[in-house]
Structure 1
Amino acid sequence: MSEQERFDRLRLIRSPRIGPVSYRQLLARFGTAGAALRAIPDLAARGGGKASVVDAGAVEREIAASRALGARYLLMGDADYPALLDQFEGAPPALIVRGDAALAAGQCIAMVGARNASAAAVRFARTLAQDLGQRGAVVVSGLARGIDTAAHQGSVGSGTIGVIACGLDVVFPPENRDLQAQIADSGLLVTEHPPGVQPLARHFPARNRIIAGLAVGTVVVEAAPKSGSLITARLAGEAGREVMAVPGSPLDPRAQGCNQLIREGATLIQNADDVLEAVGSIDIRMVRQGSFDFACEPVSSDVAAGERSAVVALLGHAPVPADELIRLSGLSPAVVQTVLLELELAERLDRLAGGRVSLR
Structure 2
Amino acid sequence: MRNYIKNVAILCKGDYAKMHRHLLEKKPVANYPCVDTYLTIVDATYPKRLLELDQPPFILFYQGDLSLLNSSCVGVVGSRKPSLYAVKATYEAVAVLRERYTIVSGLAYGIDVCAHLCAIHHHTIAVVACGLDICYPMAHRDIFNQIGKHHLIISEYPRGVNPERYHFPFRNRIIASLSKCIYIMSARQKSGTMGTVDIALSLNREIVVLPHPIHDESGSGCNQLIQEGATVLTNIKELSNI
Instruction: Specify if TM > 0.5.
Output: yes
- How many angstroms apart in 1 are the aligned matches of 2:235 and 2:126? 22
1:20–1:91 Cα contact (<8 Å) kept = no
- How many angstroms apart in 2 are the aligned matches of 1:184 and 1:271? 32
- How many angstroms apart in 2 are the aligned matches of 1:176 and 1:13? 26
RMSD: 2.2
1:195 maps to 2:159 = yes
Which amino acid in the other structure matches residue 19 of structure 1? Answer: A
2:79–2:218 Cα contact (<8 Å) kept = yes
- Tell me the residue number matched to 2:26: 37
- Tell me the residue number matched to 1:225: 189
1:245–1:262 Cα contact (<8 Å) kept = yes
- How many angstroms apart in 1 are the aligned matches of 2:194 and 2:121? 27
Which amino acid in the other structure matches residue 116 of structure 1? Answer: K
Q: In structure 2, do the counterparts of structure 1 residues 275 and 267 end up closer, same or farther at CA, with 3 Å as the change threshold? A: farther
2:211–2:232 Cα contact (<8 Å) kept = yes
2:2–2:43 Cα contact (<8 Å) kept = no
Q: Percent identity?
A: 35
**Is the partner of 1:56 in helix, strand or coil?**
coil
Equivalences for residues 136-147 of structure 1 within 5 A: 136-147=100-111
- CA deviation profile, 1:306-359 (whole Å, cap 9, x unmatched): xxxxxxxxxxxxxxxxxxxxxxxxxxxxxxxxxxxxxxxxxxxxxxxxxxxxxx
Note the C-alpha offset of 1:25. Answer: 8.0
- How many angstroms apart in 2 are the aligned matches of 1:139 and 1:131? 11
- CA deviation profile, 1:86-123 (whole Å, cap 9, x unmatched): 22221111001111111121211001101011112112
- CA deviation profile, 1:250-300 (whole Å, cap 9, x unmatched): 1100111001111111111134565566xx6xxxxxxxxxxxxxxxxxxxx
- Tell me the residue number matched to 1:285: none
Which of 95, 99, 116 aligns to 1:130? It is 95
- Tell me the residue number matched to 1:242: 206
Q: In structure 2, do the counterparts of structure 1 residues 271 and 86 end up closer, same or farther at CA, with 3 Å as the change threshold? A: farther
**Structure 1 runs not aligned, ≥5 long:** 27-35, 39-52, 67-71, 281-360
Q: TM-score, normalised by structure 1?
A: 0.62
Which of 6, 20, 23 aligns to 2:2? It is 6
- Tell me the residue number matched to 1:179: 143
- How many angstroms apart in 2 are the aligned matches of 1:88 and 1:269? 27
**Is the partner of 2:121 in helix, strand or coil?**
coil
Note the C-alpha offset of 1:75. Answer: 0.5
Q: TM-score, normalised by structure 2?
A: 0.91
1:73 maps to 2:38 = yes
Which amino acid in the other structure matches residue 84 of structure 2? Answer: A
1:123–1:150 Cα contact (<8 Å) kept = no
- How many angstroms apart in 2 are the aligned matches of 1:74 and 1:272? 36
2:9–2:19 Cα contact (<8 Å) kept = no
Aligned length in residues: 240
- How many angstroms apart in 2 are the aligned matches of 1:262 and 1:180? 33
- How many angstroms apart in 1 are the aligned matches of 2:57 and 2:96? 30
Q: In structure 2, do the counterparts of structure 1 residues 143 and 150 end up closer, same or farther at CA, with 3 Å as the change threshold? A: same
